[in-house]
Each structure stands twice: as C-alpha cells, then as structure tokens.
A = this chain, B = another copy of it.
Amino acid sequence: MLMPDPHHRDLMLKQELSQQVGGRVELTPAERLLDSLLHQLKVKEMAILPFPPAKHFFKVRHVIQKSPVFKLLQKMPKGKKSQGFSGRSHLSFDKIILYPAGAALHIHSSALVSADWLVLNATYRPNCYICFMREGSVRFIFSAYMPFPRWGCSFWSRLDTLRAGLSDVTAFDNSLMKNFTLFTDDPETAFPTQDAAWKRFEEIFVALSGLVTYAPVFKDYIYQGLKELYDDNIMYLELRVGQSRAYELDGTVHDKAWSLEVYRNITEKFRENHPDFIGSRVIYSIHRSLSVSTVKQVVQEAIEMQRQYPDILAGFDLVGREDTGGSIWYFREALSLPSELKKNLTFFFHAGETDLDGTEVDRNVLDALLFNTSRIGHGFALVHHPLAKELARTRGVAVELCPISNQVLNLVSDLRNHPAGVLMSDGHPIVVSSDDPTLFGTTGLSYDFYEVFVGIGGLSANLGTLKELAMNSIRYSSLSSLLKDKAIMLWEEKWNKFIADNSKS
C-alpha cells in the first residue's frame, strides 16, 4: 500500500460517523433527500459570521430566528400559532419549530412559560399586588385585601391601580418582564461570572413565586406551559416541581397533593383539547441548599406521593446550584431511605453541572449512578469521568443536555466546546431539553435543538441525529413501556408526515 487505501479510509470515516448519536439510524429515501437539503443548509449556516453557536445565545437569538436552517421550518407541521399574549415580535417563535421534537424531560416548573405571558396575563389579573425590593427585584401576592408589609420591600401596590396612574404602561410591563428573565442584550456585562448569573437566577425564582403559586394563575400557568411546548411540537413533559404550595385569594394554602392533582387535572384538560399530546409527569424536587433532615423528610413525602400518584409522580431530584449546595453524597442518608424502607422512589439527579473538576462537587456524577439515577441532569462534567461515563452508557442512563442553560450560567461560551460534543460523537444516550425557558428567553426545545444540532454536533450531525434525539426523549422518559410504544407510534406518524411534507418540494 503506497497511500492509505481510499476505500479503507472511506470505511473508517463511515464507521466513525456510525458511532455518533443517530449514526445507525437507517434513513428512507425521502429522509435521505431531506437530510441532504439539511446538510446544505448547515454548510451555509457554518459560514455565518459570527457563527451563532459560538456566541452567547442572548446576542444571537435574532440571528438564529432568521438563519437559513430555519427556512426549512416554515414548511413544517406545527401546532396552532400561539394565541393571546405572545404577539410581541421578539417573542414570536412560530417559525422556528425544528421538527417533531418528542418530549421535554428537563424543565423546572417555575420557569416553564414565557415571560410575556407572566406579565401580560398573570399580572393583569385582579387583586395582584406588587412590592419593590431595595436591590431592584420585585415580589407579588394576590390578596383580597391590602397584604401585610413585607420586610425589605416597599409598601404593596395593587397593579391595576398602579398601572392606571402610569403614562407608559408598556415601559412598565417591559421592566416587569426583565424581572422574570435573564435575557439581556449584554449578558457578558450583566453576568460576568457564574456567581453573578446564579445569583440573579435564584432571585428570579423568588420573584416569580408569589405570582405562579396563586391557585388560579397556577392552573392557567400549567396549561399555558403545556401549550407553549405543544406549539413547538412537544408531545410529553417531565417537570421538576419544587416545594412551594399554592394559595388562594383568602390566604388559604393548599397542600402539595393538591398541586399534584392540579398537574394531573390540567394535563387531562389539555389532552382533551389536544388529543395528540401524550401527557406530563412530575419529578418531585428539593433545593440542595437545605439540611439533610429536611431532605430526608421530603424523600419520605416523595415515597408516599409516588405510591399515591404513580401516574403523575415520576420520581425525585435535588435541584439548585451544585457548586454551592450539598452533594449527593452529603445527602446519602436521606437518599438511602427508599431502599432502607424497601420502598420505591425513582431518582432523576442533577449531576455534573459544574466545572470544579476533581472536587467533592464533581463526584456527583458517580454518586448519582451509585444511587441508581434514571437520568443525569446536565452531566456537563461526565466526560471527565470515564468510569462513570461507561457505567451510564451500559445502564442506559441518559444525559439531559440543556446547552443554552449551560452557556447562560457560564459553564461554556462557544458551544462548539460543549462537552456533549464528545458524547454525541460517541453515541452516548442523550436527550435535549431547555431547563428554564422563562429565564433564557426561549419557548419549546427548538432553540436548544438548534444549538445541539448546528453547534455541538457540527456538520456531522444529520437527520439521523435529530431522529434519534427525538426518539431518545421518549425512550429515556419515565413512561411505562405501553405508553412509550404509544408515544413512539404517535411520534412516528408526525415524523413521517413532516418528511413527506418536506420531500414534496
């Protein structure tokens, strides 16, 4: 052999490609046609300067919205156009649905809907009071009477009265919106460090809480959340739900079971109106800043809840920033409770959302697996743990990849350097999700899919990759085998229609 045999080289290149996520998906002739169109669009996309996935999402969202890849999308099957309160041009996403995306498995309930819905719908309801914190944040409460003053906050103002006295209500509403999202034109200045981003991140959840836990808002909020996902062709949702309890105008506070039943009922109602929506399930979550004894108590509750509501409650997770909160091993006593009591509780742990390589925090990926986690939330650090990575792969524990979240929270700037690129090229089990759409200025999964498909996956990611990622989202969900089969069938129908529609041209 004088020169490497071109045929042999070709085989090796093909073999390597077949190792990537979706590399073994057999494409039909129609799919191959669409794939080659997609490839051409991607080549064009890579010539855009600056290359969108290399830049902070906040600075390129408008570029992504207009990018050549999305020209394909206008021909796509999608849900009805979002109604009502999302008419603002910068928040109108009805053209950016990438393809039937399957399921969203990593979203937090407090950051489920777009900021404009919160401002233009929720805060416009009667009896909504607002107060302004010294450091620039806000708090809300719905109340039949003037609420008791809140420490560190201005006196409460009723929003309808407040707005009536304003000359520029739109400006006020826009300023309110800024309290619900990290989205800003200059993210590098606003959030120069992980600490700064996380501080604001946690603040927003507190600001939102009085608004979205008001029972009537809560119900509509969930419905709206499902709708925004459905409009982006999402068929199924698994939602991390925290410990806050819903309240009524008279101050009555509901218990947590009430919330679970609302999740179930609203999902049912949504499915009645959208029969091709599969449903949603809840992952009961607790903040990792709390004590072992508190977490222990919540684990006990979760066991009971999973027994009582097996249809709606999928399992348990620890949420909040890993770098500053307790590690999985720190909570080991609480997390061993289910097996100690011989009870069932499925874990869906956040793990490895960190760049503190080699520290205690960084052991969460291995510990999540030792506690038999079903999936790994983020797993940003997983590629630095070959043993844990192999274990996850063997056990079929998927990584919930949320690229925009990782970028906004300053783990990585140029998404071509996102470690999931390593996982993708090696066919590791991955699902794509959006983490906190409200906070990141996204709706649905299309933006995250864009970053994964164009940025992280590079030119080698193809239609097979998209197909596998979508199917993964059902395969690695907590649905029963029966429901998975049903979901896959329904998804395939949509997928085939999408392929057929796009192969005509």
Binding site for B on A (CB under 8 A): 1-4, 9, 12-13, 15-16, 19, 46, 49-50, 193, 329, 332-333, 335-336, 339-340, 355-359, 362-363, 366-367, 370-371, 383-388, 411-414, 416-419, 421-422, 425-426, 457-461
- Pairwise interchain contact A387-B12, C-beta atoms closer than 8 A: yes
- Pairwise interchain contact A340-B2, C-beta atoms closer than 8 A: yes
> Can you report 7 residue pairs joining A to B where beta carbons are below 8 Å apart?
A3-B339, A15-B387, A16-B386, A16-B387, A357-B457, A357-B459, A362-B459
Q: Tell me the bound Cα distance from A357 to B16 in angstroms.
A: 13
A401 to nearest B CB, angstroms? 15
Contacting residue for A358 out of B358, B363, B366, B460, CB 8 A: B460
- Pairwise interchain contact A386-B4, C-beta atoms closer than 8 A: no
Q: Which of chain B's residues have a CB closer than 8 A to the CB of A12?
A: 366, 370, 387
Contacting residue for A13 out of B355, B363, B417, CB 8 A: B363
Q: Tell me the bound Cα distance from A124 to B366 in angstroms.
A: 60
Q: Tell me the bound Cα distance from A357 to B49 in angstroms.
A: 16
Q: Tell me the bound Cα distance from A19 to B46 in angstroms.
A: 36
Q: Which of chain B's residues have a CB closer than 8 A to the CB of A2?
A: 336, 339-340
Interface of A is mostly: helix
Q: Known A-B contacts: A13-B366, A355-B414, A386-B425. Give 12 more (CB < 8 A).
A: A3-B339, A3-B340, A4-B371, A16-B388, A356-B458, A357-B416, A357-B457, A358-B457, A358-B458, A383-B383, A412-B417, A422-B422
A168 to nearest B CB, angstroms? 36
- Pairwise interchain contact B3-A386, C-beta atoms closer than 8 A: no
- The residue on B at minimum CB distance from A192 is B50
Contacting residue for A4 out of B13, B362, B370, B383, CB 8 A: B370
- Pairwise interchain contact A1-B421, C-beta atoms closer than 8 A: no
Q: Which of chain B's residues have a CB closer than 8 A to the CB of A49?
A: 193
Q: Which of chain B's residues have a CB closer than 8 A to the CB of A385?
A: 16, 425
Q: Which of chain B's residues have a CB closer than 8 A to the CB of A426?
A: 386
A278 to nearest B CB, angstroms? 33
Contact A357:B458 (CB < 8 A) given known A383-B422, A386-B16, A417-B412:
yes
- The residue on B at minimum CB distance from A335 is B3
A362 to nearest B CB, angstroms? 7
Contact A9:B366 (CB < 8 A) given known A3-B332, A16-B388:
yes
Q: Tell me the bound Cα distance from A414 to B419 in angstroms.
A: 13
A390 to nearest B CB, angstroms? 10
- Pairwise interchain contact A387-B193, C-beta atoms closer than 8 A: no
- The residue on B at minimum CB distance from A340 is B2
Q: Which of chain B's residues have a CB closer than 8 A to the CB of A384?
A: 421-422, 425, 458
Q: Which of chain B's residues have a CB closer than 8 A to the CB of A13?
A: 363, 366
Q: Tell me the bound Cα distance from A459 to B357 in angstroms.
A: 6
A454 to nearest B CB, angstroms? 10
Q: Tell me the bound Cα distance from A50 to B192 in angstroms.
A: 10
Q: Tell me the bound Cα distance from A461 to B357 in angstroms.
A: 9
A355 to nearest B CB, angstroms? 5
- The residue on B at minimum CB distance from A385 is B16
A421 to nearest B CB, angstroms? 6
A193 to nearest B CB, angstroms? 7
A406 to nearest B CB, angstroms? 10
Contact A19:B416 (CB < 8 A) given known A3-B332, A459-B357:
no
Q: Which of A340, A356, A370, A388 has the most CB of B within 10 A?
A: A370
- Pairwise interchain contact B416-A414, C-beta atoms closer than 8 A: no
Contact A419:B416 (CB < 8 A) given known A366-B12, A459-B356:
no
- The residue on B at minimum CB distance from A426 is B386
- Pairwise interchain contact A46-B356, C-beta atoms closer than 8 A: yes
A24 to nearest B CB, angstroms? 14
Q: Tell me the bound Cα distance from A340 to B50 in angstroms.
A: 43
- The residue on B at minimum CB distance from A339 is B2
A49 to nearest B CB, angstroms? 7
- Pairwise interchain contact A3-B355, C-beta atoms closer than 8 A: no
- The residue on B at minimum CB distance from A366 is B12
Q: Give 10 nearest A-B pairs by CB, closest first.
A: A357-B458, A358-B459, A358-B460, A3-B336, A4-B370, A358-B458, A16-B387, A417-B417, A384-B425, A355-B416
Contacting residue for A355 out of B329, B359, B417, B419, CB 8 A: B417
- Pairwise interchain contact B425-A422, C-beta atoms closer than 8 A: no
Contacting residue for A1 out of B332, B339, B363, B367, CB 8 A: B339
Q: Tell me the bound Cα distance from A207 to B9 in angstroms.
A: 40
- Pairwise interchain contact A362-B458, C-beta atoms closer than 8 A: yes
Q: Which of chain B's residues have a CB closer than 8 A to the CB of A19?
A: 386-387
- The residue on B at minimum CB distance from A15 is B387
- Pairwise interchain contact B416-A413, C-beta atoms closer than 8 A: no
